[in-house]
């Protein structure tokens, strides 16, 4: 008794064939025990039998495209099958087991700890930061839109992001895993919100306008990390490729941002000072003296003059 | 007169405010440099001015006599775009020596002076004769230039001795000539109203209808002697025009006659040198005149004492909806506006102090209010052609002695001029850091200033920000 299972690229079972006896043939032709509709499979491609020890053996019947074992790049003429490793003929993945194959033990139906309190908590934390930020900067007459807009913006961004990943997950592994993706999206958003707050405060406190600029970089790095987490949630394989993808996203965006910045600086003045101020109590850098300031300005003159000479040519 | 803008689009209509459009332009209108560009569009109608002056037959006879005598001494000056062989700006000039020297405005010849490889200078005499002009000397500060025609001039103007001595009677009838809007040579009469008050640059206030294209033309007395050179008119006003006093022209003429003939390519550097010398003079004069204290809430702020500053104030107290923090701003600016090129006017100085006080804002909102309503911005348009990238420095500063001065947050920005060595547009902004719901935001804009002068004024300015004792 032998089972032949044809799997999708995502390792889902597409069809399952039950063959009585100790040998069978697989191919595109109608004379086979199992027929495979793959143009890259030979009419008589594979024969499955048993060796002297009784283990299942697959044998190439002289096809053009050959027989491969999953994870082995070399073409093989004959393979001993252990029931867990897939074999490939043409573009078709096969899993062959006999009825003695031992399946894993039954997984008990334990109710996991519900995740929604954490999700709600994260959402509330993000909205709180946005609302406090809006309130902090609101010096005009009260208008509800001032507070609704940032909330809607955050909900929109997280919503679209999580929806895209959930759909991808559903398409690729046939499981939406919505809660996991939502969790990742919310953690990423919270990280960005908190980082932005620190950047704004820090830029004023330390007289360090570069921090405000760094907000973009932080945002894109978090985005890359989140993308990696989403990809890992979809499937554990191909870690290197996923790492490369996750690193490429912030690298490309930061690079693009730098190009745009450079273009703007050619036509506009770069914003080289902190624009958003905070109460004086948040100043962290020490007070300079007038002499110290004028000394710094004297040093700045050299930089300005050098930039001018470069610009002149 | 905050700007000389020979606007490209509408020579009579448009005013270019050098103050970035955002501040208290309570000063009416702007001054228009009188070279016209694109004469086709110069047909923009100038409203007819009802002539309220007594213009009897005698006056008519005088101007007829003056014009007939002056006609062979007048020139129209054209800046011609060499590659297209078409004029790009026109003005007027007048002969002042037998060997062909003539006087005009710097702004009439500025295109040629700054870009001699792109433009050439031509003249057309009243009798229709044309020829090339040679540029001999410029005086950017007083908007004058000496040119030479390619033939001798048997007839030329003399300077009026009273004008050279600077004792021209107010109310004296003067006659201005030139070629307005490329319509042909014209004579208009008007009145001398003395030197413009509160102006660093000496200009004669001439009540007469000067129009674009008459720039560089002469203004003469009844006996035909030069008292001034047509230079500008005030936009948004009736018959308010300005002349450069004759003594500056006489001095420049003397310099030009004595010096060797410069090459056309040397004028850009010369303009830069003159700008540098001019700012040195003006900023030293400002420093020497010193600063006086003005009270601004619990603070005391410095205000320049030099007489050519115009001061103003504004409040937001009556705005609707009722502001959640009050903003009482006072400021002073000079009316200095140096025409360098048709897209570069510079030399403005502005100092302002905003006293901000929270009504019901919390400290965060107040800080946002202060930074949003009083950003550290420069004045004037940023032209990449003229200016390189700006760089800023910010710092928290405590002036000495500590007990007298509040700590301030300083933003200091400088933008160098690309073509003129050693000149910068500088912005200094200082915001007090001693209270949470109240602050003084002081700002100083210094156009076309040397770095050392800017540093010196910065120290004076910061020293002047104090607590009220």
The reported pLDDT for the residue numbered B3 is: 32
The reported pLDDT for the residue numbered A264 is: 72
Q: How large is the ipTM? A: 0.83
**Cβ-Cβ contacts under 8 Å, B392 against chain A:** 209, 272-273
Q: Residues B164, B201: one domain?
A: yes
Residue-averaged pLDDT of chain B: 86
Residue B141 has pLDDT above 60, yes or no: yes
Q: Residues B48, B130: one domain?
A: yes
The reported pLDDT for the residue numbered A313 is: 60
Compute the nearest-CA separation of B24 from chain A (Å): 21
Beta bridge partners of B299: B296, B467
The reported pLDDT for the residue numbered B10 is: 25
Whether A289 and B397 have beta carbons less than 8 Å apart is answered as: yes
Q: What SS3 string covers B142-186? A: CCEEEEEECCCCCCCCCECHHHHHCCCCCCCEEEEEECHHHCCCE
In this predicted model, what pLDDT tens digit does every residue of B399-427 receive, in sequence order? Answer: 989 999 999 999 999 999 999 999 999 99
In chain A, which residues have pLDDT < 50? Answer: none
pLDDT tier at B34, thresholds 50, 70, 90: low
Compute the nearest-CA separation of B326 from chain A (Å): 11
Residue of B325, B391, B425 to mutate when probing chain A, most A C-beta within 10 A: B391
Query: Which positions 179-208 of A are in contact with B (Cβ < 8 Å)?
Result: 207
Q: Averaged over B327-351, what is the pLDDT?
A: 91
Is B149 inside a domain boundary? yes
CB contact set of A130 (below 8 Å; sequence gap of 6+): A150, A151, A153, A154, A193
B455 or A211: whose pLDDT is higher? B455
The reported pLDDT for the residue numbered B397 is: 96
Is B11 inside a domain boundary? no
In this predicted model, what pLDDT tens digit does every residue of B242-256 receive, in sequence order? Answer: 999 999 999 999 999
The reported pLDDT for the residue numbered A183 is: 96
- Chain-chain contact of A297 with B418 (C-beta, under 8 angstroms): no
* Rounded Cα distance, B257 and B262, in Å: 11
Q: Which of B209, B227, B262 is the last residue of a domain?
A: B262
* Rounded Cα distance, B275 and B386, in Å: 14
Lowest mean pLDDT among A180-189, A291-300, B58-67, B285-294: B58-67
Is B268 inside a domain boundary? no
Give chain B's largest Cα–Cα span. Answer: 78
* Rounded Cα distance, A185 and A51, in Å: 52
The reported pLDDT for the residue numbered B28 is: 26
Residue B4 has pLDDT above 50, yes or no: no
Compute the nearest-CA separation of A127 from chain B (Å): 19
- Chain-chain contact of B393 with A300 (C-beta, under 8 angstroms): yes
Q: Residues B241, B297: one domain?
A: no
Q: CATH no. for residue B228?
A: 2.40.10.120
Q: Residues B35, B183: one domain?
A: yes
Q: Residues B258, B281: one domain?
A: no
pTM, 2 dp: 0.82
Q: What is the DSSP letter of A25?
A: E
Which among A281, A283, A307 is the nearest to B388, CB-wise?
A: A307
Q: Please give the class, per CATH, of domain A2-98.
A: mainly beta
The reported pLDDT for the residue numbered B30 is: 38
Of B300, B305, B302, residue with least CA distance to B290? B305
Which among B363, B372, B392 is the nearest to A279, CB-wise?
A: B363
Domain residues for the domain of B183 are 31-262
Compute the nearest-CA separation of B376 from chain A (Å): 8
The reported pLDDT for the residue numbered A296 is: 96
Q: Residues B370, B234: one domain?
A: no
Compute the nearest-CA separation of A208 from chain B (Å): 8
Q: Which of B207, B238, B262 is the last residue of a domain?
A: B262
Nearest CA in chain B to A295: B455
Q: Residues B177, B287: one domain?
A: no
Is B3 inside a domain boundary? no
pLDDT tier at B118, thresholds 50, 70, 90: very high
* Rounded Cα distance, B369 and B378, in Å: 19
Q: Residues B329, B180: one domain?
A: no
Query: Which positions 142-201 of B are in contact with A (Cβ < 8 Å)?
Result: none
Classified as helix, coil or strand, A59 is strand
Q: Residues B282, B250: one domain?
A: no
In this predicted model, what pLDDT tens digit does every residue of B372-399 receive, in sequence order? Answer: 999 888 776 677 889 888 889 999 999 9
Domain ranges for chain A: 2-98, 116-297
The reported pLDDT for the residue numbered A143 is: 93
Q: Following CA atoms A44, A50, A51, A53 in sequence, which dihedral angle do they give, to the nearest 10 degrees? A: 170
Q: Residues B442, B401: one domain?
A: yes
- Chain-chain contact of A280 with B395 (C-beta, under 8 angstroms): no
Residue of A262, A292, A297, A307 to mutate when probing chain B, most B C-beta within 10 A: A297
* Rounded Cα distance, A58 and A63, in Å: 13
Q: What is the number of other CB atoms lying within 10 angstroms of the CB of residue A222?
A: 18
Q: Averaged over B171-191, what is the pLDDT?
A: 92
Query: Which positions 248-267 of B are in contact with A (Cβ < 8 Å)?
Result: none
* Rounded Cα distance, B198 and B309, in Å: 7
Is B174 inside a domain boundary? yes
Q: CATH no. for residue B457?
A: 3.40.1000
Q: Residues B173, B309: one domain?
A: no
* Tally of domains within chain B: 2
Q: Which of B262, B284, B315 is the last residue of a domain?
A: B262
* Rounded Cα distance, B446 and B424, in Å: 8
In this predicted model, what pLDDT tens digit does every residue of B206-220 receive, in sequence order? Answer: 999 998 899 999 999
**Cβ-Cβ contacts under 8 Å, B423 against chain A:** none
Query: Which positions 404-423 of B are in contact with A (Cβ < 8 Å)?
Result: 407, 409-416, 418
Compute the nearest-CA separation of A290 from chain B (Å): 6
* Rounded Cα distance, B27 and B1, in Å: 8
Q: Residues B155, B194: one domain?
A: yes
Give the length of chain B.
Answer: 469
Nearest CA in chain B to A294: B455
Query: Which positions 274-293 of B are in contact with A (Cβ < 8 Å)?
Result: none
């Amino acid at each position: 008794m032998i089972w032949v299972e044809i799997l999708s690229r995502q390792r889902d079972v597409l069809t399952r064939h039950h063959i009585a006896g100790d040998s069978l043939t697989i191919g595109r032709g109608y004379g086979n025990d199992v027929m495979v509709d793959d143009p890259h499979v030979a009419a008589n491609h594979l024969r499955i039998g048993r060796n002297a020890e009784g283990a299942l053996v697959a044998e190439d019947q002289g096809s053009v495209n050959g027989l491969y074992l999953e994870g082995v790049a070399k073409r093989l003429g004959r393979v001993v099958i252990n029931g867990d490793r897939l074999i490939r003929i043409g573009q078709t993945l096969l899993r062959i087991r006999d009825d003695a194959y031992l399946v894993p033990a039954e997984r008990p139906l334990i109710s996991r700890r519900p995740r929604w309190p954490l999700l709600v908590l994260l959402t509330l934390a993000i909205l709180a930061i946005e609302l406090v930020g809006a309130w902090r900067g609101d010096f005009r007459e009260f208008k509800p839109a001032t507070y609704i807009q940032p909330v809607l913006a955050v909900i929109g961004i997280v919503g679209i992001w999580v929806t895209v990943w959930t759909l991808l997950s559903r398409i690729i592994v046939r499981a939406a895993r919505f809660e996991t993706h939502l969790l990742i999206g919310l953690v990423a958003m919270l990280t960005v919100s908190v980082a932005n707050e620190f950047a704004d405060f820090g830029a004023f406190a330390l007289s360090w306008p570069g921090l405000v600029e760094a907000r973009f970089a932080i945002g894109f790095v978090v985005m890359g990390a989140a993308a990696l987490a989403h990809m890992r949630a979809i499937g554990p394989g191909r870690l290197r490729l996923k790492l490369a993808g996750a690193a490429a996203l912030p690298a490309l965006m930061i690079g693009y941002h730098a190009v745009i910045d450079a273009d703007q600086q050619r036509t506009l003045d770069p914003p080289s000072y902190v624009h958003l101020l905070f109460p004086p109590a948040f100043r962290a850098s020490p007070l300079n003296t007038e002499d110290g300031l004028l000394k710094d300005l004297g040093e700045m003159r050299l930089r300005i003059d050098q930039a001018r000479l470069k610009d002149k040519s | 007169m905050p700007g000389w803008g020979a606007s490209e689009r509408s020579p009579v209509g448009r005013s270019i405010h050098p103050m970035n459009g955002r501040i208290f332009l309570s000063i009416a209108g702007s001054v228009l440099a009188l070279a016209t560009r694109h004469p086709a569009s110069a047909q923009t109608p100038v409203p007819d001015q009802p002539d309220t002056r007594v213009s009897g037959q005698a006056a008519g006879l005088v101007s007829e006599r003056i014009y007939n005598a002056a006609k062979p001494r007048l020139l129209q000056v054209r800046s011609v775009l060499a590659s297209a062989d078409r004029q790009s700006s026109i003005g007027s000039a007048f002969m002042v020596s037998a060997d062909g020297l003539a006087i005009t405005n710097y702004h009439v010849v500025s295109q040629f002076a700054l870009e001699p490889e792109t433009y050439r200078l031509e003249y057309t005499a009243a009798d229709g004769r044309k020829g090339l002009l040679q540029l001999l000397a410029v005086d950017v500060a007083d908007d004058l230039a000496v040119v030479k025609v390619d033939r001798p001039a048997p007839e030329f103007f003399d300077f009026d001795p009273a004008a050279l001595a600077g004792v021209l009677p107010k109310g004296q009838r003067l006659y201005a000539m030139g070629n307005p809007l490329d319509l042909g040579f014209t004579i208009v009469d008007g009145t001398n109203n003395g030197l413009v008050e509160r102006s660093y640059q000496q200009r004669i206030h001439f009540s007469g209808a000067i129009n674009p294209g008459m720039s560089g033309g002469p203004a003469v007395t009844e006996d035909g002697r030069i008292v001034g050179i047509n230079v500008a008119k005030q936009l948004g006003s009736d018959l308010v025009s300005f002349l450069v006093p004759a003594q500056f022209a006489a001095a420049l003429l003397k310099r030009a006659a004595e010096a060797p003939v410069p090459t056309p390519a040397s004028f850009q550097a010369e303009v830069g040198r003159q700008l540098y010398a001019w700012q040195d003079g003006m900023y030293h004069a400002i420093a020497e005149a010193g600063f006086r204290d003005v009270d601004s809430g619990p603070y005391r702020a410095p205000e320049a004492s030099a007489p050519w500053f115009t001061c103003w104030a504004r409040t937001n107290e009556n705005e609707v909806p009722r502001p959640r923090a009050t903003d009482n701003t006072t400021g002073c600016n000079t009316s200095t506006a140096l025409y360098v090129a048709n897209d570069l006017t510079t030399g403005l100085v502005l100092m302002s102090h905003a006293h901000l006080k929270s009504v019901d804002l919390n400290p965060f909102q107040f800080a946002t209010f202060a930074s949003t309503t009083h950003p550290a911005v420069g004045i004037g348009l940023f032209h990449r052609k003229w200016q390189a990238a700006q760089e800023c420095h910010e710092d928290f500063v405590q002036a000495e002695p500590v007990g007298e001065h509040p700590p301030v947050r300083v933003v200091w920005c400088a933008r160098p001029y690309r073509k003129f060595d050693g000149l910068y547009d500088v912005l200094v902004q200082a915001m007090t850091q001693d209270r949470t719901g109240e602050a003084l935001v002081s700002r100083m804009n210094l156009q076309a200033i040397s770095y050392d002068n800017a540093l010196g004024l910065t120290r004076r300015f910061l020293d002047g920000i104090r607590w009220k004792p």
